[in-house]
Amino acid sequence: MKAIRYHEVGEIDVLKFEDVPTPEIGDDEVLVRVKAASLNHLDLRLRAGKSPRPVKLPHVGGVDAAGDIEIVGKNVTDLKPGTRVVLDPTVKTPKGPSVMGVNFHGGFAEFVKLPATNVVPIPQEVSYDEACVLPVCYVTAWYGLYDRGGLRKDETVLIHAAGSGTGSAAVQVAKESGAYVIATAGSDEKLEKVKEIGVDATINYNTSDFSQEVKKITEGKGVDLIFDQIGASVWENNLKSLKTKGRILLVGVVGGGQTTFNFGPVIMRDLSVLGVTVFNAPRQNLINVINLVSLNRLKPVIDKRLPLSEAAQAQKMLEDRSQFGKVILNP
Ligand SMILES: NC(=O)c1ccc[n+]([C@@H]2O[C@H](COP(=O)([O-])OP(=O)(O)OC[C@H]3O[C@@H](n4cnc5c(N)ncnc54)[C@H](OP(=O)(O)O)[C@@H]3O)[C@@H](O)[C@H]2O)c1
């Protein structure tokens, strides 16, 4: 089969479109013919050797994928070849999560194998392209905003990098609660698109001090919750943007993963700092977002679809921060 594989970590040119053996399944596994796989910022960090979860080389990435079941193992009685499925990338093991596209080969290939318990059937109303953006971005948004962050409808939430795959998902998932959503992004062009997916207010964090803008928008009150995918570079202004008893969800570190930490404001204003890892989310979160897409209440934002052979171009879009929402590969 064809796959995107790399034999060393480094720049984008380490990605090779090449022939690799089609995976052989075990008795409790299924082989899935991939119809769509979406890119995540994580793919770039893994390929560059910058992730705290290093991959075993050579590696086939791809944490997010959807397709058709091709073959089922001997012990698999509840799934049939031809079933349309999305793949839950997280295999729960006694030692912790083992993740498709990280700890074992992923969806940037014509076929992928994984335990039968990790495939989730999708209804006809949900396309493969829509399904393949749900397991990471939409589940992170749901798990972060509701399970970890406890977002309520009478609250105000600030979502950073709302033009990213995860940010655009978080905007839509947050609006489901009825909360007031303020979104940031790095260009006015992205913010125009963010308005179309339903935010209540926008801030360009490259041309303004977002904490001051938050104060203006909330009439001095600040926000209840922050969904932060950026990290160190926005930490101080995040603290300034929160109400007393506000909560910060630490989701990503594109702007740095370390900073000095002044305990004072956190203690004196009863702030909460909460980590979020999608690989700890319950399966029900994925089922919730599949259902909401089938009801047309969540509409995944897909910027570009490319053939599998053009994975390097797809990764370049993410590296250049030029995409809005998700970039998809169709083998
Ligand atoms: N904890 C979890 O379980 C989890 C799950 C999913 C994602 N994440 C994290 O969330 C972040 C976003 O992931 P994604 O896949 O949605 O990313 P993405 O689609 O590639 O978008 C990343 C966006 O972040 C913004 N950004 C701000 N500062 C940046 C910087 N210094 N370098 C690069 N981009 C910067 C850019 O938007 P602007 O141009 O608007 O600035 C960029 O387009 C990543 O850190 C990822 O690891 C974490």
Helical residues (DSSP H) of the chain, grouped into ranges: 41-47, 128-131, 139-142, 165-176, 188-196, 210-217, 235-241, 263-268, 283-294, 311-319
CATH code at position 265: 3.40.50.720
Strands 64-72, 84-87: pairing is: antiparallel
pLDDT at res. 52: 86
Atom of ligand 1 nearest to the CA of 205: 41
Distance CA 324, CA 211 (A): 24
Residues 141 and 271 in one domain: yes
pLDDT in tens, 115-149: 999 999 999 999 999 999 999 999 999 999 999 99
Indicate the SS3 state at residue 56. Answer: coil
Distance 229 CA to ligand 1 centre (A): 6
**pTM of the full predicted structure?**
0.98
Residues 42 and 74 in one domain: yes
Residues 206 and 85 in one domain: no
With the most atoms of ligand 1 within 8 angstroms of its CB, the residue from 46, 166, 202, 326 to mutate is 166
Both tokens assigned to 317? 């879009």
Residues 116 and 245 in one domain: no
Residues 149 and 265 in one domain: yes
Residues 168 and 99 in one domain: no
Residues 312 and 206 in one domain: no
The per-residue DSSP string of 48-60 comes to TT-SSSPPPSSEE
pLDDT at res. 88: 98
Contact status, residue 161 vs residue 153, Cβ threshold 8 Å: no
Indicate the SS3 state at residue 258. Answer: coil
pLDDT at res. 261: 84
Residue 125 domain boundaries = 2-133+300-330
DSSP class of 278 = G
pLDDT in tens, 321-331: 999 999 999 99
Distance CA 260, CA 163 (A): 28
Residues 263 and 304 in one domain: no
pLDDT at res. 87: 98
Distance 249 CA to ligand 1 centre (A): 14
Could you give the number of structural domains in the chain? 2
Residues 15 and 125 in one domain: yes
Distance 255 CA to ligand 1 centre (A): 9
Distance CA 19, CA 4 (A): 9
Contact status, residue 59 vs residue 45, Cβ threshold 8 Å: no
Residues 141 and 243 in one domain: yes
Atom of ligand 1 nearest to the CA of 231: 45
Contact status, residue 65 vs residue 106, Cβ threshold 8 Å: yes
DSSP H or E run through 69: strand 64-72
Q: Which residues of the chain have pLDDT under 70?
A: none
Whether residue 194 is contained in a domain is answered as yes
Length of the chain: 331
With the most atoms of ligand 1 within 8 angstroms of its CB, the residue from 12, 40, 134, 301 to mutate is 40
| Residue 287 exposed, middle or buried by CB count within 10 Å (0-12, 13-18, 19+) | middle
Distance 256 CA to ligand 1 centre (A): 11
Residues 102 and 147 in one domain: no
- In the Cβ-directed half-sphere of 23, how many Cα atoms lie within 13 Å? 25
Distance 230 CA to ligand 1 centre (A): 7
